[in-house]
Each structure stands twice: as C-alpha cells, then as structure tokens.
Structure 1
Amino acid sequence: MGTRPRFDLAGKAVGLLVQRLLKLPPATSRDVTVERDLRIPTHDGRTLLATHWAPADPASDAPTAVVRTPYGRSGPLDWLYGRALAERGLHVLTVSCRGTFGSDGDFRAMRHEREDGLSTLRWLADQPWGGDVVLTGSSYLGYTQWAIAAEAPVRVKAMVPHVTSSRLALAFLRPDRFEVETLLGWSVSTATQERPGALWRAVLGIGRKRVQRAMSTLPLVDADTAALGHTWPFYQECLHHDQDDPYWKNEDHSPSVGDVTVPVSSIAGWYDIFLADQLRDFQVLRAAGRDAHLTVGPWWHGHTGGMAAVLGDTVGWAAAHARGTEPPRKPPVRLFVMGVGEWRDFDEWPPTGYTSRRWHLAPGGGLRQAPGTQAPPTSFTYDPAEPTPSLGGPKLESRGAGPVDNRELEARDDVLVFTSAVLDADVEVIGEVTAEVWIRADRPSCDLFVRLCDVDERGRSLNICDDLVKVRPDGVTKVTVELSPTAHVFRRGHRLRVQVSAGAFPRFARNLGDGGPSHTATEPRKTAVEVFHDADHPSAVLLPQK
C-alpha cells in the first residue's frame, strides 16, 4: 500500500490530545505520512506486516523508531507510537509479531522474537528512509528489544525498554508458585484480541467476570478452557514449565544482558509487575560497564506517566544518540521517592548510604525495632475455599492496581497485622526490602505473603511493597521473603505496618495445602499457620534506611 499524507483534522486532534494527556514535547509538525501493510520477509520464509509512519517532510538525519508488537498496528498504537513519534520528527516502523494481525505463522509468545527482530532490521537496512535506529516500547514490546539487543547491528543506536524485562513472563514462573491473574488474563487477552469488537470489550470490561471465575477453576490446568472454551498453548506452557526449566532457554535473554553495548534507558514503575527483573537487568548492564540509565516512577503497568516517560526518552535521549548529537543529560538513576513526592538522582541501584534495619513483629500486633522477648506465637487459619484476596499492588491490568486502602483486607481473620508506634521523625526507605518470618503450619505446603504498608494520620493503610513465597514447613521454619524494591518516606505522624497472610488471590494461585503440584490439585484444605516473634525466632522486616 502506498504512502499517503495524513492531513486529516481527526488525526491532528488525536495527536494534540495525546500530547496533552501525556505532557509530551510539542510536535514539530502535525503533518505525517503513513504506509500500511508493508511486507517484511523473515529468515524462514514467513512474512510480517508493518506500518511506516513518518513526518511529511522528514529531516535527512531522521532516525527510525522500531516497535514490534503482538497487539496490532491500529488504534492506541497508532496514536501512542506511530503518530506521536512521527509528529516529533522520527520515522516509525510498527511490526506485527508472527501470527498476529496479518503476519504469517502462529503466535507463540516469546518464541520467535529474536529471529524475527533481526529479520526486521535486515529488511529495514535496505529501505531508503531507514537511517539509524532506536528500539522502543512497553511490556511485550520491550521484551522484543531485549530479544535482539545483544546482536543488534551498529545502526541500532539506543533502546528504551519500559515496564519489561529480558525474560518477561518467566518472572511469574517461580518454582511451585503461579501468578494466575497475570498469566491467565494475558492468555485470554491475546487469544481473543483479533475478534470483532475486542478492543471495546476490553475497555468496557465485557468478559472480565468469566475470566475471574475461571481463575478459581480446579484443577488449575483447566482454567484456560473455562475462560476460552479450549486450551491455550502459552498458559499450558507456563503451568508445566517453571523459570528454571531448560524449556525456556531460547526465550530467556537475561544471560546476554551484559553483552548489550547499545545505550539503554530503562523506564520502570514501583508498582509494576516486572520491577524486580528490570532492576536486575539494569544492574547487570552497569556491572558490565555499559551506558545504562534507570528511571523508576510511582507507576503501575498501564500508567500514563510511564508511557509519557518512554515516549519522551525516545524523542529526546534515544533520537539524539541516533542523530549523533549530544543527548540530554541523564543521571544513572532517577527515582521518584513516594511519601514526599519528589524525584531524586543517584549514581547506582540500590543507592549507597542506606543501612538495613530490623523492625520486629511483636506480640499483640506491635512492630518495633527492639527484638522480642519470650511470647507465644500468633496464629491464623487459611482457607483456600475462602481465600485471602489480593488488593492493589502490581497488576497487569490498570484497574485496581497500585496503592490502595488496605483496611478492609486487614480486618480479615486470616490476615495478621503488626503496626509501629506513631513515628516521631521521618523514616526514609530506599532499596531492597526483605522479611524474615518464622512460621509453623499443619500442612505439607503453604504460602506466606508479606506486605509493607504506610498508615497515615487518618488510619488509611496504603500498600508500599510485598511478595509471596511457597513454603514447605519443617517444624518451626524461617522463611525469607524478598519484597519488591521501593523508595518511600514514612512521614512523621504516620505508622509502619506489616501484613502477614497465607495468600493473595487471584494475583497468586491458591495453595490447596496438599504439597503436590499446584496445577493438578483439586481438594482445598485449610491450613493453620503460627507466626513466631520471640527472642529465639525474631521475625522482622528489614528496611534499607538512611
């Protein structure tokens, strides 16, 4: 299909709306051109379809932003990448991943992104407008960057991965633990996204209740059938192969991160589902001496603030690298410090100058810096038939994500709460947060969920960071939970709070307590859990404090 100018008023209005919504730099021109359904040959004889956006009168040194996506090349992607970047002087090539939206083959998540990405760059090198290249995009679009980054040709001058990581879905596949909300939700979304009206159904939440019901299916291996009416390959692969399985060897690009020589600006969010992995990717780059930068904002996966940041860095920092001009100055690490609402610059992650300090769980629901004395454990019962719900925090879907008031959750009998005295001075916490909790359970397997919250003067309890681990108790057992990293100031007059429970459903699949594989279990069994907090078992959360 040929090039045609896009001088339409509707398109210009969309461009202006996106600029205002995301607070983007002003457009250099609202006049753009577009070529649709370009055909890109792959190494194995398949064809990928692509769209080329460009300024109507591009500069001779205009770089090309490559965006590879399984989500289609129209609608939001047109506005957020195609038009928005073309209006700011870049060529933009958006490519549909194999098996999606007209591209040949079957879509197998993560499976073909390295080979198809390199094929795309070879094709682009032969185009008269190709020029130098920047890679950009969010989530799966960011993973497609990592898939080719270590082998990228010299024409690739910069990359801007946003809310993503070099191993993507493997982050959710820890042994014996399954993040069903993310993995089933994404499976259903990608399985149905090309049906008529799929975008509006997603926006309006049509079908959401069916998927939520499916997350309760037993055995878990049948949940995709309950949601879709048939099995879905990616969901089944995730159930049967954890992140340590050699099955994923070709899809895990984390071993090659240190070999990436392309300058990288990583954009992350404190409540994003990929945060921990994205921080590790950055640390590997820095340890290898690479040109790497990190920005972490108060964002979750679909937050517009993060989208604005990735587009801003693509237009400014990355495009400058591609043009051979001096890029805007970026500190190695830029963090939004929650609680005080300010951006701060650092030289590394985690920042130096913070010391891990223990806040001990105490009898009667206290949280204090002094270790406990002799006291009986505090107990609760977890019932997978009435599971402890997940609330806020990292979610794939924006609805309900991020910091929320936890008081309703904390009122449940299956959630233990440990709260400090009112703070007489600010407590600044920046870095990796860990919990060490001593427990005993009466089943061969249970989960332990730990969450750190900030309680304000009105009693609102806002979640800051958390995580869940699978436990196979052997008597009184010390369990270490690495909570998600954070940067937060607990203000004077506030209180720190730690939640301890045995589940967070549907974010994490229920532990039915039988000790067997979670995807085949069918019989829910209650689990009695005791949490110890005495001198011999000093359960605590360890906070990196100034």
Structure 2
Amino acid sequence: MSSIAEEAPTTSIGAAVEGLATDVRLPGGDGPFPAVLLRTPYDRARHRAEARGWARRGFAAVVQDVRGRFGSPGEWQPYRHETDDGTATARWIRRQPWSDGRLVAVGASYAAHCALVLALEAPGDARPDAVIAAVPALGVAETAREPSGAERLLARAGWWAAHGDRRDSDESALGKALAADPGLLTHLPLTGLPERLGRDLPSWAGLWRHRDRGRLVSRAAHATMPLLAVGGHHDHFTEDTVALWHAWGGPSARLLLGPWGHSLVAAPGTDARPAHRVNLGDLYVRWAHRALTGELAPGRHGALALGGGDLWLPAGTDGEPRTQRLRLLHGADFTADPDRPVRSDDLTIPTGGRPDRCLLAGPPLPRPLDVVGSARVRLRATADTPSADWAARLVALTPEGAADRLAVGVLRREQPADRESEFTIELGRVARRLPAGTRLRLEIAGHHFPAHARNPHTGDDPTTTARLLASRRQVDPESVALRLPVLPSRPTSTEPAKEILR
C-alpha cells in the first residue's frame, strides 16, 4: 500500500504476542487509534510499506508472522492454528494503551484466511469490527480441489514447493525444479513429488485428504461486521470470493472484481483497460474508516470490471442466459489419454492422428457481445471408463487471429462405463466484452493438465496411483449447448469507489 500519500510521521515498535513475531506501526500524535491486523505466512517484512501507509492514515498497523514462519517460533501447519493465534493477537491489541478497541482484519490469499477465521470463528471479544479479504484462500479443501473434486495440481505444487513445511519461502522452487525436469509433474505417484523436489514435505500427501469445502462460507451467514471482498476474474479463487460476498450476513458487504490475477492490480489480464487501474491501498483505507464509523449503507454492493471494455458495472450485474449453438469441427469420438493429456498451458490445437478432444466453434460475432455472469456447457456424452473428468475450455478467437482463454471448467464423474448421460460443466464467471468478428471455440477434453491432475480413469486416487488408462469418449455434438450470460444492451458504467464506499 505504498501508494498512500504521506500525511504524518509514524512510529515503529516490535512486539511478541504469544511468542509470535509482530511489528506495530503507530501514527504520529496522541492515541488511542483504531488498529489494522494482518497475519501472514509470507514474511511480515514484505508489508512494511503497507503498514506505513495505514499508519499515515490514522491506523495502528499490526503485522505478524504466523506460527512457524519467518520470525515466529513453532511448527508451521497451514490452516491449523490461525483461529487461536488470531484470537490471542486481537485480545492483545485491544489491551494496548494505543488501541481504541476498534479493529480491522485485513489480508490477501492465505492472510485473508487468517482475517476471515478471526471474524467467523473467534470468540466475540476477539472478533474484528470489519474485514478486508482479498483473493481469499477460504480453506485447505477449497484451495486443493475444484467443487467436483478435481485436484488443482499446478497451483498447489507451486505453493507447497515455495512455502510448505519450511520456515522461509522460495518462490522460485517449482520453477527451478521444472527447468531441471520439464516432466516433473508427470511422474507418478503425485504424492512422491517431495522426493523429486529434493525436499522434505510431510504435509503434501495429507493435503489431498481434505474435502470439507464450504465451512467458512456457511459461517459467513452469521457474520456481524462489514466485509470488503476483493478478487480478480483471472484468479483461481474468483468463485470463492463471490460466494463469500453472497453469503455474508453482516450489516454490509462490498465486492470488487477486476480483470486481474491472484496478485490483483499487479497482475492485469490482457483484457484490462486504463479504467481498471485502481489504487487499492487508498480504497481500503477509505472503506475501513467508513466501516468503523458506521457510514456504509446496509446490503450488498460493489463493482465488477468489464474486461475488454473501459468501464465498471455494479456488482450483481448478470446477463440473460443465451444459448450459443456451435458447429462440430472434429472429435465427436476422441481419446482422453493421460499419457498425452490436453495441456492447460497451450491453446494450440494439434493436427493429425486420433483426436484428443472434441472441438466446436461458432461463426464470427456480427456485433460486440457483453458476457457477464456464470457460463456453462450442457452436453450428452459417454466414457468407456468408470471414472472420467470432463474439461471444457472456452476460447475467444479474436479478429486479429489471437486465441484468448475465457473460461474453464472441470467436472469429475463416476458412472458405469459406456452409459450415455447428460450433464453440465460449470465454466465459472466471465466479465468480458467480445468485439464483433470474434469467434468462440469450445474444447471438450478429458484432461486440463498440469493445472489439474490427470484422472487415471481406473477409479483410483489420482494422487496415489501409478497406473493410467486411456479413455475413449463420445460426444453428441447436437446436444452441446453453450449457455452464456449476455447483457441485452450496452451497460452504463459506474465508479468502483462510489460502489465500494456507498
């Protein structure tokens, strides 16, 4: 948050809360002050500029290394101790002479998890008065798997290689390992990854046993404080961010969704435009002041960016479902071979040989199309194996000839072999203006690797098996219906700050 203007001198002090390494940055002048708490596994030293920004705007900024990370002693067990340690820290803050008792819990990714469990699971005297949760990692199960059970392999391998079972971090750990062995993630079983990384990662195998999705979202209905949820349309936690906002039961809930990746404004998508450059630090501070003084209007409000269009829409804007009929190009009968999976990092289509996906496309759009909301694909299909993943990838082919991924969904199905059935693959949220001349391409495959682990098609656990089986698929092309939420007319723009601060 270094972009916040300098307004007053600040004072930095160190502290140990329940033995955890903690930095406190106080505003200049006489207190007491409202406080901001950020608990992180990513090194509190990385947040010094952010803490100074909060202090210059009148907040006591408290930044803490979670248990077992960087300066804090103890054993690092992700997601296990954050409610207890956050509770102790919040109570400590409220006992300090510089605290006026008001507390805002803030954080991004894992730090957002720390803020949310404090708000939703801590005893009443420890709960914050407001929460800012950006790209929230709601829990271990939500980060590890899609709702259908498919494993998020690449993201979790990268995170565990960088941060798992160690006191410090090595952000480049997986990248270096892949450079040395490009086929690193193809080796089986996946639970053997630590050996191939040359690292002791005892928690890696246990990660995949977690399936208890939805705990924090279910508790969000009982929240008692305001929420500001911030996410990106290109972030892998977008659906969780929106679900949290929808479920929040506090007096007010605000949502900001931009055309960004997991690092938000630091990771703009190709569809980001000048209007989507937002000073998040300034917006957070202004929202926190209004939240603590009770100036926010009740209810759910916010703003979402229209990628490819230089504007913002009110949060909650959804288009009307429209079925896009597509023409089969090839692959109504294809083979999903986990030894040669469809790659998540490659948008080119192979030519020659037996098809590895069903490929459909539409004609050029006669006019611009604003797609805003949740997209899905309905189809009838058959697999000759009892376990099958169905990956659907929607790609925009621009008039200039570029391929731009719009949405992806992965559905895991267990059913008798060779039985045709009808099902829906959820593609997630889209917020994009598609210019005239754009063609939509839909790929239906059996894998989306390495973003997701390969289904071995044997019915065995994909993380522990060492046996793979090819799966023959048949898709009824006449049944394929792409449902897109389309705005019926050109939308009216709004200002994100206006919607967040109202």
**TM-score relative to the length of structure 1:** 0.79
User: Residue in 1 aligned with 2:259?
Assistant: 298
Matches for 1:457-468 after TM superposition, within 5 Å: 457-468=399-410
Matches for 1:182-193 after TM superposition, within 5 Å: 182-191=155-164
Amino acid paired to 1:114: T
Partner SS, residue 194 of structure 2: helix
User: Residue in 2 aligned with 1:378?
Assistant: 332
Write the distance in 2 (CA, Å) between the matches of 1:517 and 1:489: 40
Amino acid paired to 2:43: G
Q: Does the C-alpha gap of structure 1 residues 511 and 451 become closer, same or farther in structure 2, counting only changes over 3 Å?
A: same
Write the distance in 2 (CA, Å) between the matches of 1:343 and 1:330: 19
Partner SS, residue 379 of structure 2: strand
Amino acid paired to 2:88: S
User: Residue in 2 aligned with 1:32?
Assistant: 10
Cα deviation digits, residues 472-498 of structure 1 (max 9, x gap): 354112231111212112222222222
In 1, are the aligned partners of 2:32 and 2:98 still within 8 Å (CA)? no
Q: Gapped runs of 5+ residues in structure 2? A: 268-276, 488-502
Write the distance in 2 (CA, Å) between the matches of 1:361 and 1:210: 42
User: Residue in 2 aligned with 1:147?
Assistant: 117
Partner SS, residue 215 of structure 1: helix
User: Residue in 2 aligned with 1:372?
Assistant: none
CA drift at 1:448 = 1.1
In 2, are the aligned partners of 1:410 and 1:417 still within 8 Å (CA)? no
Cα deviation digits, residues 265-285 of structure 1 (max 9, x gap): 110110111111111111112
Write the distance in 1 (CA, Å) between the matches of 2:160 and 2:311: 37
Q: Does the C-alpha gap of structure 1 residues 48 and 213 become closer, same or farther in structure 2, counting only changes over 3 Å?
A: farther
Q: Does 1:51 align with 2:12?
A: no
CA drift at 1:166 = 3.5
Write the distance in 1 (CA, Å) between the matches of 2:351 and 2:253: 44
Q: Does the C-alpha gap of structure 1 residues 207 and 222 become closer, same or farther in structure 2, counting only changes over 3 Å?
A: closer
Matches for 1:344-423 after TM superposition, within 5 Å: 344-346=313-315, 349=316, 351=317, 354-364=319-329, 378-391=332-345, 407-409=347-349, 413-423=355-365
CA drift at 1:430 = 1.1
Matches for 1:70-469 after TM superposition, within 5 Å: 70-74=41-45, 76-79=46-49, 81-131=50-100, 132-150=102-120, 151=122, 152-153=124-125, 156-167=128-139, 169-173=141-145, 174=147, 176-191=149-164, 194=167, 198=169, 202=172, 205-209=175-179, 213-233=183-203, 235-243=204-212, 252-285=215-248, 288=249, 290-305=251-266, 310-322=280-292, 324=293, 326=295, 332-346=301-315, 349=316, 351=317, 354-364=319-329, 378-391=332-345, 407-409=347-349, 413-469=355-411
Q: Gapped runs of 5+ residues in structure 1? A: 1-17, 42-46, 366-376, 392-405
Write the distance in 1 (CA, Å) between the matches of 2:349 and 2:65: 42
Q: Does the C-alpha gap of structure 1 residues 308 and 126 become closer, same or farther in structure 2, counting only changes over 3 Å?
A: farther
Cα deviation digits, residues 340-361 of structure 1 (max 9, x gap): 2311224xx3x35x32121234
Amino acid paired to 1:243: D
CA drift at 1:103 = 2.1
2:473 aligned to which of 529, 537, 545: 529
Q: Does the C-alpha gap of structure 1 residues 51 and 289 become closer, same or farther in structure 2, counting only changes over 3 Å?
A: closer
Amino acid paired to 1:379: D
Partner SS, residue 483 of structure 1: strand
Amino acid paired to 1:184: A
Partner SS, residue 223 of structure 1: helix
In 2, are the aligned partners of 1:440 and 1:530 still within 8 Å (CA)? yes
In 2, are the aligned partners of 1:429 and 1:543 still within 8 Å (CA)? yes
CA drift at 1:127 = 0.9
Percent identity over paired residues? 23
CA drift at 1:445 = 1.9
Q: Does 1:514 align with 2:494?
A: no
Name which of structure 1's ranges 148-157 and 423-432 shifts more when overlaid on structure 2: 148-157
In 2, are the aligned partners of 1:187 and 1:232 still within 8 Å (CA)? no
Write the distance in 2 (CA, Å) between the matches of 1:155 and 1:516: 43
CA drift at 1:520 = 2.3
1:504 aligned to which of 433, 438, 448: 448
Amino acid paired to 2:227: V
Q: Does the C-alpha gap of structure 1 residues 297 and 78 become closer, same or farther in structure 2, counting only changes over 3 Å?
A: same
Q: Does the C-alpha gap of structure 1 residues 263 and 217 become closer, same or farther in structure 2, counting only changes over 3 Å?
A: same
Aligned length: 470
In 2, are the aligned partners of 1:221 and 1:239 still within 8 Å (CA)? no
Q: Does the C-alpha gap of structure 1 residues 169 and 239 become closer, same or farther in structure 2, counting only changes over 3 Å?
A: closer
Cα deviation digits, residues 271-314 of structure 1 (max 9, x gap): 111111111111112xx463001110001102335896542332
CA drift at 1:102 = 3.0
1:69 aligned to which of 16, 32, 40: 40
Cα deviation digits, residues 146-178 of structure 1 (max 9, x gap): 101134548833211000154354243346421
Partner SS, residue 396 of structure 2: strand
Runs of 4+ in 1 over 4 A off after TM superposition: 210-213, 305-310, 325-331, 409-413
In 2, are the aligned partners of 1:219 and 1:521 still within 8 Å (CA)? yes
Partner SS, residue 77 of structure 1: helix
Amino acid paired to 2:344: S
Write the distance in 2 (CA, Å) between the matches of 1:48 and 1:411: 57
Q: Does the C-alpha gap of structure 1 residues 331 and 466 become closer, same or farther in structure 2, counting only changes over 3 Å?
A: same
Partner SS, residue 272 of structure 1: coil
